[in-house]
Amino acid sequence: MLLKSFFLPVLKETPKDAEIISHIYMLRAGMIQQSTSGIYSWLPLGKMILEKITEISRQEMIKAGANEILMPTIQSAEIWKESGRYEDYGKEMLRIKDRNNRDLLYGPTNEELVTEIFRTHVKSYKELPLNLFHTQWKFRDELRPRFGVMRGREFLMKDAYSFDVDYNSSIKSYNIMFIAYMKLFKKMGLKAIPMKADTGPIGGDLSHEFIIIADTGESEVYVEKELLNFEDTLSNINYDENLQDEVNKYTSFYAATEEKHDASLFDNNDYNLIKTRGIEVGHIFHFGQKYSMPMKATITNREGKNISVFMGSYGVGISRLVGAVIEANHDKNGIIWPKEITPWDYNIINLKSGDNDCDKICLKLYNLMENKKLNVLYDDTEERTGSKLARADLIGLPYQIIIGPKGIKDKLYDLKCRKSGDISRLSYNELLNFVQNK
Ligand code: 5CA
């Protein structure tokens, strides 16, 4: 991609109302623009990151056996009246009337809608287990939208819903999602800590939140130190194994959000507990027949008896994750994208666009890298050297290849690793070797 033809409206100044680093950098790097309180437009760089995160989550859901669907953002109030949540959900739900005075709402979550799909089509245990997921915008009229995409009113969520014939099978489905979540956060370059959690308006008897430890996180959490340094074996786990032992490896440690924390344990020497803060990037719930009973989502079981199906729901905060990844990966100059998420791996920076020699060598390298299907952004703009370098640090691609008149004279070019800040001076061939063998 040539930067000249990429819409990257970076801001030089720190925006006034942004309090935390991810919000500041997302605005400064031209990733998002506020439309109104808690609602954002996603500009090209932001959209690319959103897509990357969506795709990692999608691929892991599919590996874990889930089927992708797409439910609408607007739902009929009827099904919510059936489940009993229409009144309960309170002011967070955006209620709308259509031209025929029918009650509609902008979905804050999809348990009811997916249960309606299920009950229309599935009648027998033979069609189970089933897991349906989608990635769709939600609206919650949060009391205090803040920190940019971290607590938005409109936000993108991946939500999955499992259906099973009995309690034990539904715990198996819960465990599959538990492990899938650990895997997908790891694939985003993040260390997520599963914690016992409150079930809130979703309900149920079993729930875990997945938390990224960060000072700016909104949740207060208590976690056993050993869990923070725990070496996982996730890459060796297959979804067809019995996953209870794997899940127990995590849940045997003490880790809880504030609402679930047992304060008497904090002073207890048996637990090496620390109190810290974190960002909730995922939340899973097991709620059995809470929705299937009132909504009459029944199936025949092996004994030919009609029973209400057992369910769970599983959410990943896709748009919040864009902020969370930045909170976990940045320095004073800007974002440092992990390789799993970065929109491009390399940033060629032409320090003197318009100079014949600089243009020639940059373009030659760019074309060669493109032909080799390397993922590269070429800064061919006419900005000043200082602004180009500052912008490159701000947008945080893993490697910068910096080419200017001095380098051309010496036949040595700078390769900068964004994360370590290390700069190597390499010949053209050494550069090629590096990018081809990376
Ligand atoms: N139906 C269930 C699971 S599918 C559900 O809605 N769960 S939730 O309420 O916990 O939301 C799932 C995830 O969405 C959260 O873990 C969080 O990462 C994200 N999320 C929730 N509210 C917001 C918000 N206001 N802004 C950004 N992300 C949010």
Enumerate long-range contacts of 86-92, CB under 8 Å, 24 or more apart.
88/201, 89/201, 91/141, 91/143, 92/140, 92/141, 92/142
First to last CA, the chain: 20
Q: In this structure, is the dihedral angle defined by the CA atoms of residues 252, 257, 262 and 263, taken in order, positive or negative?
A: positive
Domain identity same for 421 and 360: yes
Lay out the sheet containing 74-76: strands in order across.
74-76, 103-106, 94-97
Structure token pair of residue 396: 């945080």
**Who's near 200: CB < 8 A, 6+ residues apart?**
none
**Who's near 244: CB < 8 A, 6+ residues apart?**
171, 175
pLDDT digits (tens, 9 = 90+) for 204-235: 889 999 999 998 898 899 999 999 988 899 98
pLDDT digits (tens, 9 = 90+) for 173-191: 999 999 999 999 999 999 9
Domain identity same for 50 and 110: yes
Q: Can you give the pLDDT at residue 268?
A: 76
Domain identity same for 79 and 155: yes
Domain identity same for 59 and 180: yes
pLDDT digits (tens, 9 = 90+) for 38-64: 999 999 999 999 999 999 999 999 999
Residue 3 lies in a domain: no
CA distance 146 to 139: 14
Q: Can you give the pLDDT at residue 200?
A: 82
Domain identity same for 224 and 327: yes
Domain identity same for 87 and 226: yes
Burial class of 228 by CB neighbour count within 10 A (0 to 12, 13 to 18, 19+): middle
Number of domains in the chain: 2
Residue 2 lies in a domain: no
Confidence of residue 203 (pLDDT cuts 50, 70, 90): confident
195, 285, 320, best to mutate for ligand 1 pocket (most atoms within 8 Å of CB): 320
The CATH number covering residue 417 comes to 3.40.50.800
The CATH number covering residue 54 comes to 3.30.930.10
The bridge status of strand 255-257 relative to strand 219-224 is: antiparallel
Q: Where are the alpha helices (DSSP H) in 329-427?
A: 356-371, 385-395, 405-410
- Which value, in Å, is the radius of gyration of the alpha carbons in the chain? 25
Distance from the CA of 282 to the center of ligand 1, in angstroms?
Answer: 7
Mean pLDDT of the chain: 96
The pTM assigned to this predicted structure is: 0.96
The β-bridge partners of 376 are 346
pLDDT digits (tens, 9 = 90+) for 317-336: 999 999 999 999 999 999 99
Determine the atom of ligand 1 nearest the C-alpha atom of 159. 4
Determine the atom of ligand 1 nearest the C-alpha atom of 152. 26
Domain identity same for 31 and 90: yes
Q: Measuring from atom 17 of ligand 1, which residue has the nearest CA?
A: 317
Residue 1 lies in a domain: no
pLDDT of residue 167 exceeding 80: yes
Distance from the CA of 38 to the center of ligand 1, in angstroms?
Answer: 14
Ligand 1, CB cutoff 6 Å, lining residues: 109, 111, 140, 142, 151-152, 155, 157, 159, 202, 280-283, 285, 313-315, 317, 319-320
Q: Can you give the pLDDT at residue 275?
A: 94
Write out the residue range of the structural domain in which residue 369 sits: 346-437
Domain identity same for 426 and 298: no
CA distance 106 to 137: 9
Q: Can you give the pLDDT at residue 293?
A: 98
154, 212, 283, best to mutate for ligand 1 pocket (most atoms within 8 Å of CB): 283
pLDDT digits (tens, 9 = 90+) for 4-43: 999 999 998 888 889 999 999 999 999 999 999 999 999 9
Domain identity same for 254 and 394: no
Helices (runs of H) and strands (runs of E) counted in the chain: 13, 23
Domain identity same for 324 and 383: no
Q: Can you give the pLDDT at residue 50?
A: 98
Domain identity same for 186 and 293: yes
Distance from the CA of 415 to the center of ligand 1, in angstroms?
Answer: 40
Residue 340 lies in a domain: no
Question: Cβ(344)–Cβ(397) under 8 Å?
Answer: yes
Domain identity same for 232 and 380: no
Determine the atom of ligand 1 nearest the C-alpha atom of 279. 18
Q: Can you give the pLDDT at residue 190?
A: 95
106, 153, 157, best to mutate for ligand 1 pocket (most atoms within 8 Å of CB): 157
Domain boundary pick from 335, 369, 403: 335
pLDDT > 70: percent of the chain: 100
Question: Cβ(327)–Cβ(380) under 8 Å?
Answer: no
Structure token pair of residue 305: 């008896």
pLDDT of residue 138 exceeding 90: yes
pLDDT digits (tens, 9 = 90+) for 373-413: 999 999 999 999 999 999 999 999 999 999 999 999 999 99
